Structure 1
Amino acid sequence: MERIKELEKLLLDAVSDGAFPGANYAVVTKNKVWMGSVGNKELYPEVIPNSVETIYDMASLTKVVCTTTCLMQLVEKGLLRIYDPVSRYFEKFRFTDITVWNLMTHTSGLPEGIYGPKDKLSESDIWDKIFTIEELKFKPGTKIIYSDINYILLGKIVEILSGMPINEYAKKNVFEPLEMVDSGYLPSDKKRCAATEYRNDATMTGYVKGEVHDETAYAMNKVAGHAGLFSTVKDCSNFIKMILNDGILNGKKVLSKKSIDELFKVQVKEFSGVEVLPKARCLGWQTKEPACSAGELVSENTILHTGFTGTNMFIDRDNEIGFVLLSNRVHPTRNNGKLFHVRACVANFIMAHLEEFKND
């Protein structure tokens, strides 16, 4: 398809401009996938070409692909109510007016993350820091602050209600039914992984590869609700197909249509005075707004999310199309924001040629 060649040129130009060493992409409709790879998966200490088989650190896409999906399954099983108080699940959690809904919409008022050096922290240290937070940044439900702590708590709720570690629950109930064969935490084949940032601390010295980049997730034995998932572009395309087909892939139901409907429902409109994007939220997911990663041409009925390492995904339900871009823009350093422009431009290109993708 000619448009795919043009799309790849946009991505190759981004590689040349230093936006990322390499990237894998997939344009997905209900029944078709266009997939490809550009650049290199590693530049240091050696140059290694990229391929569609490369496994990427999904970073905060963990929140939506893994944790949010697991939570909606638990709702369907009658084990969880979105409006349950979080204190129901954590005896030490002092803020009784924060609900699961607040965590999923980032309206809890909890801080953005665990502050300070994390290279010497243990999982118990992380929980101690969470349970000893003294005050909220705002009254729950009145503002939005995107917070990793929200999804650390949600990941643990999945474990409490399922009786399984989240990596095991997700593998059995999400990844295996969706034939996401290379998705999960703690990747065993590190050679297939894209390199991320150079690190020199108490945990390691050298370029991170096959280990979770997020410092807090690393401290939590590399498995958490907010980060830690690894995946491939093919696996992500299966996930997008499932969402576009109302929760079903190849005859296997992972979520009900009612759950998919709920995921696309805007839960929180823009609050006045919000300075940090995103300013509007669905359950787990961001939705379309000015300056979002999905550009200007997606419909209002679009969910999207990004990951710090250089990943992003959007799913436009009205137009029945989705897109995932997996890159390692933090290799060799996180001080690189060129991707932020590229991902919106690529999204606009795809949507401008929507009918060609749908009718090919």
Structure 2
Amino acid sequence: APLRAALADTLRRVLDAALADSAFPGAYAAVGNARGVLAEYGVGRLDWAGSRLPGADRRPDARTLWDLASLTKVVATTTAVGQLVGEGRVALDAPVQRYLPEWTGGGKERVTVRHLLTHAGGLPAWRPLYKEATSPASALALVYASALDTLPAVRYVYSDLGAILLGQLVERVTGRPLDAYVAERVFGPLGMRDTRYRPPAAELARTAPTEFDPWRQRKLQGEVHDENAAALGGVAGHAGLFGSGHDLARFARMYLGGGALDGVRVLPSAVVAEFTTRQDSALSHRALGWETPTGQNSAGRRIGAGAFGHTGFTGTSLWVDPRSDLFVLLLTNRVNPTRQNTKIGAVRARLADAAVAAATGLASPPSPTGR
């Protein structure tokens, strides 16, 4: 089909150029619609030449495991909260304290679940838990103890601390550890067999290494890059997930399908619609958990106004456009060997723009192979 060929050309052109520019050692991209993957491309290798790590010279493909970083916030946490909202077990405009009564301190009683999902809860962006805490329990205690910087709904501050609290809320409401809950209720039903926190050592050879970490003094492979997620034991609401292109394509198709994939419903369609709608334009472009296109962010400039997506610090991004029935997925390990390499920003926008241009250049949508 001409569309598939055009998309495949597009992915190859953008990623080959990015590799030549040393934006990352390796990358995998996929573009698809609700029915499947239309084009995919892996480029480079899992680690730079000369590496002795397992699988270093493998070319990335659909089953390569990537540290998803903040894609965890939407793939695990936001989707789990959406399920609980759909089931009536969590109310978006209820105070967070209804579910986490021990989260106390000045102004916190006014913070709602919606505030945390839109990063408008008044929390600081971050704190170095990994330097302050001596155990996962003490790291978590510091999250609970962190004071608000402002009252809620005053300003937008993208906050890992808020996402960690949302992960805690999921655990409290369900009575299950976050990793067990999302495995049972999100990844299992969607056939996302590669997606998990704390991947086992047997998976190392297909796992893309990330940074030579100054704190841990080693190149990380199969171990979460985010220091605070590591300090929390590897499972957290803001980071920690590893996953493959195969799985994230299925995840994106579920959202394009209004919450269902292959006859399995994971989210009510009304929840998908609500969670992917921009909330308070006076504060930010955020939907619930998700980001929306700004014209300046990783969505590029051509994707539809109703699109939603997210990025991850390690070099990952996903954009989903229901009106065009299109998703654009990019998985890389751009922090390898150092987070100082920031070329990925331009690559994300270039890929999204090129994919949207190729996809909308032809009128009739093809029927892709299921994935």
TM-score strictly above 0.5? yes
**Secondary structure of the structure 2 residue equivalent to 1:70:** helix
> What is the distance in 1 between the residues matched to 2:301 and 2:224?
32
- Who is 1:196 aligned against? 210
5 Å-filtered alignment, 1:169-184, equals: 169-184=181-196
- Who is 1:31 aligned against? 35
Within the candidate set 246, 268, 272, 1:260 is matched to 272
Is contact 2:211-2:335 (8 Å) kept? yes
Is contact 1:119-1:219 (8 Å) kept? no
Task: Quote the offset at 1:13 in angstroms.
Answer: 1.0
Is contact 2:129-2:142 (8 Å) kept? no
Structure 1 residues 200 and 289: CA distance shift in structure 2, 3 A: closer
Is contact 2:130-2:228 (8 Å) kept? no
1:308-332 deviation digits (Å, cap 9, x = unpaired):
0000000011111011100000000
- Who is 1:51 aligned against? 60
Within the candidate set 18, 23, 32, 1:19 is matched to 23
**Secondary structure of the structure 2 residue equivalent to 1:10:** helix
- Who is 2:369 aligned against? none
- Who is 1:231 aligned against? 243
- Who is 1:354 aligned against? 359
> What is the distance in 1 between the residues matched to 2:141 and 2:173?
21
Task: Quote the offset at 1:290 in angstroms.
Answer: 2.5
> Structure 1: where are the runs of 5+ without partners?
272-278
1:83-132 deviation digits (Å, cap 9, x = unpaired):
11111222332210111111000001101112375386322222232233
Are 2:173 and 1:127 equivalent residues in the alignment? no
1:214-264 deviation digits (Å, cap 9, x = unpaired):
011101110001000110001000001111111111110011111111122
Task: Quote the offset at 1:358 in angstroms.
Answer: 5.8
- Who is 1:274 aligned against? none
Are 2:74 and 1:64 equivalent residues in the alignment? yes
**Secondary structure of the structure 2 residue equivalent to 1:313:** strand
Letter in 1 for 2:264: K
**Secondary structure of the structure 1 residue equivalent to 2:331:** strand
Q: TM-score, normalised by structure 1?
A: 0.93
Is contact 2:100-2:172 (8 Å) kept? no
> What is the distance in 1 between the residues matched to 2:129 and 2:141?
14
> What is the distance in 1 between the residues matched to 2:208 and 2:364?
31
> Structure 2: where are the runs of 5+ without partners?
367-371
Task: Quote the offset at 1:8 in angstroms.
Answer: 1.1
**Secondary structure of the structure 2 residue equivalent to 1:282:** coil
> What is the distance in 2 between the residues matched to 1:252 and 1:337?
38
Letter in 2 for 1:197: E
Instruction: After the TM superposition, list the runs of 4 or more consecutive aligned residues in structure 1 that deviate by more than 4 angstroms.
Output: none
Within the candidate set 65, 71, 74, 2:84 is matched to 74
Task: Quote the offset at 1:49 in angstroms.
Answer: 2.4
Structure 1 residues 117 and 231: CA distance shift in structure 2, 3 A: closer
Structure 1 residues 142 and 312: CA distance shift in structure 2, 3 A: same
- Who is 1:275 aligned against? none
**Secondary structure of the structure 1 residue equivalent to 2:29:** strand
Is contact 1:29-1:358 (8 Å) kept? no
CA RMSD of the aligned region, Å? 1.6
- Who is 2:154 aligned against? 142
> What is the distance in 1 between the residues matched to 2:206 and 2:82?
31
> What is the distance in 1 between the residues matched to 2:132 and 2:16?
35
5 Å-filtered alignment, 1:147-186, equals: 147-186=159-198
Task: Quote the offset at 1:206 in angstroms.
Answer: 1.6
- Who is 2:304 aligned against? 299
Task: Quote the offset at 1:351 in angstroms.
Answer: 0.9
Aligned residue-pair number: 350
Structure 1 residues 120 and 130: CA distance shift in structure 2, 3 A: closer
5 Å-filtered alignment, 1:211-360, equals: 211-271=223-283, 279-355=284-360, 356=362, 359-360=365-366
**Secondary structure of the structure 2 residue equivalent to 1:255:** coil
Q: TM-score, normalised by structure 2?
A: 0.91
Structure 1 residues 358 and 163: CA distance shift in structure 2, 3 A: farther
Letter in 1 for 2:21: D
1:297-351 deviation digits (Å, cap 9, x = unpaired):
0111010100000000000111110111000000000001100001101100011
Is contact 2:133-2:139 (8 Å) kept? no
Is contact 2:92-2:114 (8 Å) kept? yes
Task: Quote the offset at 1:48 in angstroms.
Answer: 1.6
> What is the distance in 2 between the residues matched to 1:97 and 1:207?
42
Identical aligned pairs, as a percentage?
A: 37
> What is the distance in 1 between the residues matched to 2:115 and 2:195?
28
Letter in 2 for 1:51: P
Is contact 1:62-1:225 (8 Å) kept? yes
5 Å-filtered alignment, 1:106-117, equals: 106-115=119-128
